[in-house]
Amino acid sequence: MYLEEFYDYKNQLMGDLLTNEKIVHLINEDVPFDQAATLMYTQVFPYEYLPETVEYGQTFICCDVDIQRVMNKTFLSPTLLIWVFTHKSKLRLPEGGVRPDMLCSEICKAIDGSRMYGLGELNIYSAKRFSPMTDYQGKVLTFQATDFNRVYDPKRPTPSNRKTG
């Protein structure tokens, strides 16, 4: 649909992340759930982001959308990439486990199988290690969907050289 997936998927994901209490708490336990929107563009980004200078350990989630292939005039295959990474001082969770792993699990629970991304269900494709800079570790999650490539527009004129009828 003329690459509307680039912003539609990101907006949907930002909403899915910041309305999930567990995810918000894992990103920043000092931010009350009712103030989760303050994490947008500070720790949750709808684009690939690496902080230039980090004064204290934080956790980040970034996302982007790629179009892996166009199957035909009707369908294309968007890929949603989600980077989850945290400073080494925040890796270990008090209840046990590793913060990026828990965040990836919660993100997967929230969106895998969702019908809000494309046609049918959004499906996890891969989860790989990701270390964007010194003292930060995390994962990159890849989800795949199928969406419309072009939707018929009756207002679009038919070329004059084309036969009709």
Contact 68, 36 (CB under 8 A): no
**Strands 59-70 vs 44-45: parallel, antiparallel or unpaired:** parallel
The answer to whether residue 163 is domain-embedded is no
The answer to whether residue 159 is domain-embedded is no
The answer to whether residue 164 is domain-embedded is no
Q: What is the pLDDT of residues 11-51, one digit of tens each?
A: 999 999 999 999 999 999 999 999 999 999 999 999 998 87
Residues of the chain with pLDDT under 70: 1-2, 53-55, 151-153, 162-165
Nearest to 122 by CA among 16, 3, 1, 2: 16
Structure tokens at 46: 């709808």
Domain residues for the domain of 81 are 5-48+57-148
Q: What is the number of domains present in the chain?
A: 1
The structure's pTM equals 0.87
The answer to whether residue 161 is domain-embedded is no
Task: Identify the CATH number of the domain in which residue 108 sits.
Answer: 3.30.2000
